Amino acid sequence: MKRLWHSTVTEICLILAISALAGLAWNRTLLTSAWHGGLTQQAEARTEVAAPAADELVPMPIPLAQVKQMRDAREAVIVDARSATFFAQGHIDGAVLLPLEDAKKSAGALTGKFAKDATIITYCNGFSCHDSMELGKLLMQAGYSSVYVYEGGFPEWRDAGYPVATGGA
Amino acid sequence: MGAIFIYAAILKIADPVGFAGSIAAYKILPYFASYLTAAILPFVELVCGVLLVTGYRVRGGALIIGLLNLVFIAALASAIVRGLDIDCGCFKQGGAKTSPWLALLRDLLFLAMTVLVLKTESRKRISSPPLPTLAEDEG
């Protein structure tokens, strides 16, 4: 009986170790992004960062609490990637409208849209919506280095009871 | 049972950011831990699912799946208690929303199935003689 448990525990440890290694290897880019994203937010340091490598042109994810904190402190420009119709129905108070479709059509005009060293947070309709990620990538390609994606998006923000505005941009 | 976990794992592996978002929505784990869990958990499900389907090292795989189900049940129960209206994040991320109650019932069913798998496995062990290699290891 003791032997059986011993071999079972060994089995479980082996399975977990193999799975963890596979998961870490498969998602190494994502984890590196998430780790650096967290560190950047904690450091709050404005340092001269070297030009990002091609595989780093993915916006960092950012959670609700930090979006609220950075919005309240006016440390970031909040950008709504949804259509003007959704924006008019309700958006994060203080957000600016920049639909992904418009950004795609005039990608060249993105360069001068915000201050070059601005911290930008994009969002759309929550975790099922990928427009904010796409817009974030476009902004990074346009030369903005401090771009974050708030994946919880408008639904999470609204449900948290944080300030919401309606109407045009 | 194994096939269900393989299916769930593949959907999550295909969309790790979406799964991290689902984990974050439970508001249990801190920021980076959500991503770490989203990176590793689907692979645990995948490996255990494959073990169950192939019949190799079933006991270890089934025990992990059972433990995972207990963790899922605890997380879902806490979401229900806190009144969180979230998608369980069990299968396809960002698809049709599955309520925590339905997910909880489903996980209870999975847990019962896991117990059944473990019972069948132990019966097999009792009825079949031990492998000579294992006996030699200890001898």
pLDDT tens digits for range A27-37: 988 788 667 65
Letter for the amino acid at B129? Answer: P
How far apart are alpha carbons A43 and A34 in whole angstroms? 14
Residue B131 pLDDT > 50, yes or no?
yes
pLDDT in the model for residue B130: 55
- Between chains, do A127 and B21 touch, taking CB under 8 Å as contact? yes
Residue A44 pLDDT > 50, yes or no?
no
Residue B137 pLDDT > 50, yes or no?
no
* Residue A42: how many other CB atoms lie within 10 Å: 9
- Between chains, do A11 and B13 touch, taking CB under 8 Å as contact? no
How far apart are alpha carbons A166 and A91 in whole angstroms? 6
Residue B37 pLDDT > 80, yes or no?
yes
- By C-alpha distance, the chain B residue nearest A37 is B32
Distance from CA of B20 to the nearest CA of A (A): 9
Residue B7 pLDDT > 90, yes or no?
yes
- DSSP, collapsed to helix, strand or coil, labels residue B31 as helix
* Predicted ipTM beyond 0.95: no
pLDDT in the model for residue B19: 84
Helices (H), A48-116: 64-72, 84-89, 100-105
C-alpha torsion sign, points B11, B17, B22, B27: positive
- By C-alpha distance, the chain A residue nearest B87 is A127
Question: Helix, strand, coil shares of chain B as percentages rounded to 5?
Answer: 75, 0, 25
Contact A120, A146 (CB under 8 A): yes
DSSP type of residue A110: G
pLDDT in the model for residue A139: 92
